[in-house]
A and B are shown apart, each in its own frame.
Chain A
Amino acid sequence: MAQEKVLEINQLKTYFHTKRGIGKVVDGIDLTLHKGETLGIVGESGCGKSMTSLSVLQLVPDPGKIVEGSVRLNNEELVGKSEKQMRNIRGNQISMIFQEPMTSLNPVISVGEQIAETIREHQGLNRKQAFQKSIEMLKLVGIPSPEKRAKQEPFQLSGGMRQRVMIAMALACNPEVLIADEPTTALDVTIQSQILKLMKNLQKKLKMGIIFITHDLGVVAETCDRVAVMYAGEIVEYSTTEELFRHPKHPYTKGLLQSLPKLYEDQEELQAMEGSIPSPFKEHQGCKFTDRCPIAEDSCHQIHPDLKMSSDHSYQVRCLFYQEEKELTKGMSSV
């Protein structure tokens, strides 16, 4: 790939040290984000999606800690940077949008001032200039009559409008990387598609890389170039969006896709995956997915599979049976 790498995550491990033991919330993640690309991270609640993004920003809450690995922004190591250095990067080079637009804005400060504050923090503009810039940003994210809206407090705006404000805030300083942590989960579908469209347009305009964290596979199909599927702190499958949806390889990915309702088929009932994600405090010897895996065998309990790269380097899968599976799908497709 000739694209420029913006963010590189290598063997990132974030553990929580508690009295109950060590919780391996993020357990050896490798991800690469290119310029202008959208990378999706999917997985169910508690699989470590959000912790991965907080680790990138070095904002892991206590008692969590990054114990190993590296996060590189334009070849600059972020792990181990001081709080002050990180503050300069947050909001400036890497920004984040949160899930709940209803609670992610300070209720007592006007939205314009909230955007202006980030601008002042990073660009050294004075109050008036920053406020002007925040009005421009509101215009950019498609808020009508931004001069009026900038002076309003969050409770006077609707959910979709607030999410636009959040985006304006995150983009105010032209970040190279935008982490969107379930940005559309709290919105209804029509607003959701508007916001997704907006993010796409802005991405083209500002040429930033987006890490899109979600559990909504529909949103992934619509927005992402490549997808990493996470399970219990690990990546189990990592490929292009098309490949993932057309030929899912890991049994977990298959399960996820099967549990989606199908539009053109009559379905008696919705297929759900049995069981739930194992606790990060549990010690694993073999594959973490064995308890819920339909194709698990004895060897799965013994050997922890590596993330294997396909021969053409287009995707990676963490499953012992992946080779056979591949041949199987090949065989089937030729029939």
Chain B
Amino acid sequence: MEAQLKTQQEAISFDKLRKQQRIERIEAFINRMVRNKAALVGGLIVLFYIVIALFAPFLAPYDPFAIDLANKLQAPSLEHWMGTDDKGRDILSRILYGSRLSMGVGVVAVLFGAIFGVIMGMAAGYYGGWIDSVISRVLDIMLAFPGILLALAIISALGPSLFNVTVAVGVFSVPLFARIARGSTMEVRKLEYVDAIRSLGANDGTIIFLHILPNILSPLIVQGTLRLATAILSAAGLSFLGLGAQPPSPEWGAMLSNGRDFIFSAPYMAIFPGLTIALLVMGCNLFGDGLRDALDPRMKS
């Protein structure tokens, strides 16, 4: 009984030790990120956008859907920081609310692409042979299409909506993730510990998801962050073409498209959504690059 208590106490103190070690490791990671100024700026931008998306209802000064024709097309002022659009809606409020749509589409599309891509890529890399050939050829075909064209084709088949844009953008992210997962899996599969674990009776599922996936995660995370920028941009682009979010939804691409007609009389209608998109995409890219440097074991000193 006493001995058991002692082991328990020991276990608790070791738990603490382990937590401490984990914190130390996270700190080291953050240190590396902070030393890279560009990555830090990128990370702060992304964080800023996430905060906006989460707290949009509290931050927005007006209802983004409230039409006020008396105050339409007003230039930026203290009352309307970014002016109003052709129906008198506050542009700032619309951008704040729109962050949820644009970023949501981006994140979901990347997750969609990553999940399917990783499964396909790992299957190809792990089993090799004809499975690899079939999957790789399918990926080659997908890569042969220009991304936006493939997305257009998918949307014209499914009909224009924000959800279909998400699917379309996700689909053309699949081959990128699949190729990275395939290459990394092939590399890890040859390592001795995979043989060792197989000789102890592990099945393919265990080997793939428990032993290979955690080891190939970092290039996938980096690719995911970089891909997020492209996904947001593509989704905005598709909405700009009228294939995604439908009015009156405050999606950034749709707002940009709407502002196009007033580019000479009320340029702020297009400028602000455009700037918003550009800043976020830049943030994602800087952050992704920084993440890649921080996670690359060869860069560690």
Contact = CB atoms under 8 A, between A and B. Distances in A.
Interface stretch (A29-37, A117-125, A217-225, A323-331): A117-125
Main SS at interface, chain B: helix
A73 interface: no
Contact of A117 (B10, B192, B210, B214): B210
A103 B203 contact: no
Interface in B258-294: none
B77 interface: no
Given A122-B201, A148-B17, A151-B14, A108 B193 contact: no
Contacts of B11: 147
Nearest to B17: A148
Nearest to B14: A148
Contact of B215 (A106, A121, A147, A151): A106
Using C-beta atoms within 8 Å of the partner chain, give the interface range for chain A: 20 to 34
B191 A121 contact: no
Interface residues of B, number: 24
Interface stretch (A6-14, A93-101, A226-234, A249-257): A93-101
Contacts of A191: none
Interface in A145-189: 145, 147-148, 151, 166, 169-170
B17 A105 contact: no
Nearest to A94: B199
Given A117-B210, A147-B7, A91 B199 contact: yes
Interface in A95-136: 95-96, 98-100, 103-109, 114, 117-118, 121-122
Interface of A: 57, 59, 87-92, 95-96, 98-100, 103-109, 114, 117-118, 121-122, 145, 147-148, 151, 166, 169-170
Contacts of B197: 106, 114, 117-118
B211 interface: yes
Given A117-B210, A147-B14, A95 B199 contact: yes
Contacts of B14: 147-148, 151
Nearest to B15: A151
Contacts of A100: 192
